[in-house]
Structure 1
């Protein structure tokens, strides 16, 4: 059920995930709070970028955060300890195929399903862990929702490299658009999904820096070596694509991207 994490486990990727979580905190976590004492499972916590948001926005929850990477778990522990030392978080090294044999009031999964070869099976497995009346919240992106000014075929080509490489690794970077049917088909009730749109131009410098540059362009750059090794682009073509994409973060440039958030019940 797991797959190759196409962006890699690097310090640069840790910075990117942190910048993304901080920049998009209100957009992605708005409306998501859990009552004190609730048992919550974070399936795929990574480096803890979203974990911090969960424990600070819902103080008093009992959170179990699992991840397949021990290195990421260590970073998540350190991050939460620094930001929310009193938070009750049980970090566990586990694959989504080997989830804890216990029940939870709620499950939260963010930017994980896109990396799985069989997200349907993962969602079915998670549903079995949720108590009657509980919920699952899932958040994913859709890389084909990225459009920008000035338009550039070279910039679009490097984005397409990311999409194709993730597909080759067994994932789906376009999964956001199908969250609602995915959760419904996995047996969740009353599934509701909605778009969370990011738009950035020079009048929104925090989004230009935090999202366009440090999240999206950094995400595309993370697959540079893989794309070149696979012969998808030449070094010169890659450099041109990134230069053109960076123009969307300059004066006169604009950038748009859509995430999708879905909530289902049991």
Structure 2
């Protein structure tokens, strides 16, 4: 299942993903311990930012990490070698729809973080992945929802550049609002006992690590990644874009506040019979 990664495969995007993973590690991974010796499939590992979290928070797992981008896999391998020395990971360059039990066997757990938002047919992807999960095994899915972003000072100019990201991702076949529908997506794909919950980030000047790590280096950087596409599509003029980004940056300044909600859902593979 080919994807048009709207943020681009750039050095800046690799840095943003790293900042995001580190800043949100406790929020997104705090309640996802996998038992030592269990087989875990990370679908869409990207540059390895979440891979490091999986390995460090669940030592001893038997991890397989797959991605459709060879360049991203190279980054992931280098990152894991540098940050988790001695960790053993089976790396696989493949389209997730092409993964089969005959090729990989069955896994105890599946993990997807910021993957479904880029896929045109997320239920099809989740249904295909179900073939790889042993009966009683778990799937964990984490996604954001860009319409959950609200901030002070309010600004129509800032909202306009956020809307560029939402619109461009939709044009590319994805859905940047997918977090709100994880429970029905997993249920429609046939998983049992699906539970979803919000994971909220709030940042103001009393939380400088979140202002820097999330508001600036994750969210604003994510919006900035679609600048060239937005201008090429005529969604904003250069002056309008700069005005919107500057307005958004005020949320990261003294007196500003920023809020965003991720969603995390967990389901299980049904037992046969």
**In the aligned structure 1, how far is the partner of 2:193 from the partner of 2:94?**
29
Instruction: Give TM-score scaled by structure 2 length.
Output: 0.97
Question: What per-residue deviation string (whole Å, max 9, x for no partner) do you get for residues 75-94 of structure 1?
Answer: 00000011112222111100
Answer whether contact 1:61 1:88 (CA < 8 A) is retained.
no
Question: What residue number does 2:71 align with?
Answer: 71
Give the number of aligned pairs: 266
1:98 paired with 2:101, answer no
Question: What per-residue deviation string (whole Å, max 9, x for no partner) do you get for residues 171-209 of structure 1?
Answer: 000000000000001000000000000000000000000
Question: What residue number does 1:86 align with?
Answer: 86
Deviation at 1:22, TM superposition (A): 0.1
Question: What residue number does 2:149 align with?
Answer: 146
Question: What residue number does 1:34 align with?
Answer: 34
Answer whether contact 2:204 2:256 (CA < 8 A) is retained.
yes
For the residue of structure 1 that corresponds to 2:36, the secondary structure is: coil
Question: What residue number does 2:21 align with?
Answer: 21
Answer whether contact 1:17 1:215 (CA < 8 A) is retained.
yes
Answer whether contact 2:202 2:259 (CA < 8 A) is retained.
yes
Question: What per-residue deviation string (whole Å, max 9, x for no partner) do you get for residues 23-71 of structure 1?
Answer: 0000000110111110000000000000000000000000000000000
Answer whether contact 1:46 1:76 (CA < 8 A) is retained.
yes
Structure 2 residue corresponding to 1:170, chosen from 170, 173, 180? 173
**In the aligned structure 2, how far is the partner of 1:39 from the partner of 1:166?**
32
**In the aligned structure 2, how far is the partner of 1:85 from the partner of 1:129?**
28
Question: What residue number does 1:231 align with?
Answer: 234
**In the aligned structure 2, how far is the partner of 1:163 from the partner of 1:4?**
14
| Residue pairs, 1:110-189, within 5 angstroms | 110-189=113-192
**In the aligned structure 2, how far is the partner of 1:141 from the partner of 1:180?**
13
Root-mean-square deviation (CA), in Å? 0.6
**In the aligned structure 1, how far is the partner of 2:99 from the partner of 2:59?**
24
Answer whether contact 2:97 2:129 (CA < 8 A) is retained.
no
Deviation at 1:100, TM superposition (A): 4.2
**In the aligned structure 2, how far is the partner of 1:166 from the partner of 1:155?**
18
Deviation at 1:129, TM superposition (A): 0.6
**In the aligned structure 2, how far is the partner of 1:236 from the partner of 1:55?**
44
Answer whether contact 1:177 1:260 (CA < 8 A) is retained.
yes
For the residue of structure 2 that corresponds to 1:136, the secondary structure is: strand
Question: What per-residue deviation string (whole Å, max 9, x for no partner) do you get for residues 145-191 of structure 1?
Answer: 00000000000000000000000000000000000000001000000
For the residue of structure 2 that corresponds to 1:159, the secondary structure is: helix
Task: List 4+ stretches of structure 1 deviating above 6 A.
Answer: none
Answer whether contact 2:127 2:189 (CA < 8 A) is retained.
yes
Gaps in structure 2 of 5+ consecutive residues: none
**In the aligned structure 1, how far is the partner of 2:2 from the partner of 2:146?**
20
**In the aligned structure 2, how far is the partner of 1:2 from the partner of 1:257?**
28
For the residue of structure 1 that corresponds to 2:228, the secondary structure is: helix
Question: What per-residue deviation string (whole Å, max 9, x for no partner) do you get for residues 118-154 of structure 1?
Answer: 0000000111110011000000000000000000000
**In the aligned structure 2, how far is the partner of 1:28 from the partner of 1:106?**
16
Question: What residue number does 1:244 align with?
Answer: 247
